[in-house]
Amino acid sequence: MSLTLLPAPDISPTPRVLLTDPAGLFATLAALHLPRGFYVICGSAALYIRGLRARLGDLDVLATGPAWDIVTTLGAPCPALSGHGLVIHHPRAAIEFVDRWTPGWPTERLIATADLIDGLPFMRLGDVLAWKQAARRPKDLPDIAAVDRLRRTWTGPHPATLARRWAA
């Protein structure tokens, strides 16, 4: 019996991610090696990665603890435009890091319940929908409609729609 040694796997300093976007934002984020359990990708990126949005403008990343410590090496935190918490802008990529999400959204819960997709944590689809429905900005309306279409695909028509059909 002889043993054959297999070649060592390619272990590069930057984790490989299968997720792609034209600007390389997911790869840039992965290269920071943020510790799992201390950050979550929020907002529209969670729709883009699920095929519910055609374009990705930027990444909004909620980071705490050791992940936030790493992020502070990219720049000094400043007050968020929302007036809620602190923000750091990545110096070379369209990635915005915040230390908390909007009021009423517990940071720890958003991170703990994240969906892991290709090694990156994304805000749960139901949370994205609820957040966008609450904000209801004009730019959120197409995203809300996209999630509603997906929900109808999974579950069929909304009960209110069925009730109207049966009443006719």
What is the structure's pLDDT at 159? 63
> Tens digits of per-residue pLDDT, 26-36?
999 999 999 99
Domains of the chain from N-terminus onward: 25-167 (3.30.460)
| Interior/surface letters 82-101, b for 16+ CB within 10 angstroms, e for the rest | eeebbbbebeebebbbbbbb
pLDDT reading at 16 higher than 70 = no
Q: For residue 85, what are its two tokens? A: 């918490």
The pTM (predicted TM-score) of the whole model is 0.80
Q: For residue 127, what are its two tokens? A: 């949370």
Q: What is the largest CA-CA distance in the chain?
A: 78
pLDDT reading at 15 higher than 90 = no
> Tens digits of per-residue pLDDT, 44-103?
999 999 999 989 999 999 999 999 999 999 999 999 988 889 999 999 999 999 999 888
